[in-house]
Structure formats: C-alpha cells, structure tokens
Amino acid sequence: MKETRGHARAEAQAHAEVDERTDGQVFAATSFREPALSAASRAGPVNNLNDGSAWGLFAVLFASAGLGLGQSGIPVAVYPAVWGLGQLVTGALSDRWGRKHLITVGMMVRAASPAAVAVADSFTRWLVAGIGLGLGTAMVYPTLLAVVGDVAHPSRRARAVGVYRLWRDLGFAVGALLTGVPADLWGIRGAIWFVAALTAASGLVVAVRMYETHPPARR
C-alpha cells in the first residue's frame, strides 16, 4: 500500500479555507453544527439500529410465526446480500445523481421495509421486505460516507470520518436497547413498528437539514 496522505495535502492546497480546527471543533461540527455532516451523523446510527433489529427481531418474529430455523434465515440473509451487491450500483449512482436524494429515498425504503415485515404473515412477503431493506441500505450506506468525504476539509477528513463512524457504530449498541425495551413493552411487531417510525423520522431530518454535497458542477 502506498501512503495516501500526500493526495489529501495536495487537495488541501486547492482550498481557500485554512485548516485550523481543533479535534473538539471537528467533533462539534461533524456531530451538530455542519448541516450535512450532522444529518449524516444522525442517519448513520439509525441505519445501524435498523440493521440490529433486522438481525435480532426479524428472526424471532419468523420463528414465532412457525418458520423453521433454515427458512427463517433466508429473508435475513437476503437483506445483506442485496445490500452488498447493490452498493456496486448505488455508489456509482451517487457520483452521477448526487447524494441527498439517494439517502433520503433510501431511508424511506428502510422505514417501509420493517413496516412491511410487521404487517406481513408469510414467508414470501417477508422475503420481499428483506430485499427492500437491502436496497434501501445500499442507497444509504456508501452515500453517507461519500457525504463526509465531500464536505470535510482534506486536512481533517479522517477525523470527520472517525466522528461519523463513532455515531454510526453506536447505533448497534444503542439499537439493542431501543429495540429490546419496546419488544418487552409492545411485543416484537410493536418494536419493529418503532424502528420503522424512527427510520422515517431520520429520513425527514436528511430531507430538511442536509444539502446536496455533490452538485452537478462537481460531477
């Protein structure tokens, strides 16, 4: 592997802005102050919370509905398979079409898919919902990282990515609590509805707060 920091330094020289922000200022900007970065930092953990619910709650729901272990695993496995392959397409599309709308639509698809799981009662419908969840994740996952790369100054880009990943990966830990407690209170389907509503709310935050970070002039 070759050292890539020189590329960032060369890119930084083309920026009029001088990088003088401290680590604390980068954390505050990425987490709360900069509109696009803060919206990404809110969507990231909700995205991973959604993942956690799919891997945990869905399997319990399928098993409680009478599906065997092998059959229950198919909709859950289809989800990351579609997600992984779909990123090859959606990543390229975000370079051509832009970031914001792909993320917004992806979050709404991610909200609709758990809702479809909650109301469905057959293997076929759950399989379709799993495919939809994978497509939504493919739209969101690589594009959020691209937003951070678009906005963060080259000299502090790695720090901004680290802050974004902190929030995003906390979604797994927080998601375990935010899905487990509602599952105890409202049942498995109620918890899935809660995840769907939270994901839709996060999509609205992106729609309102995030601006297009990769406009046509930059493509």
Domain ranges of the chain: 30-212
Q: Report the C-alpha gap between 79 and 71 in whole angstroms.
A: 14
Q: What is the DSSP letter of 30?
A: I
125-139: average pLDDT = 96
pLDDT band at 18 (very low <50, low <70, confident <90, very high): low
Q: Report how far residue 153's alpha carbon sits from residue 21's, in angstroms, rounded to the nearest whole number.
A: 10
Exposure b/e, 131-165, CB count within 10 A at least 16 = b? bbbbbbbbbbbbbbbbbbebbbbbbbbebbbebbe
**What is the average pLDDT score of the chain?**
92
Of 13-17, 114-118, 119-123, 193-197, which range is least confident? Answer: 13-17
pTM reported for the whole predicted model? 0.91
pLDDT at 175: 82
CATH number listed for the domain at residues 30-212: 1.20.1250.20
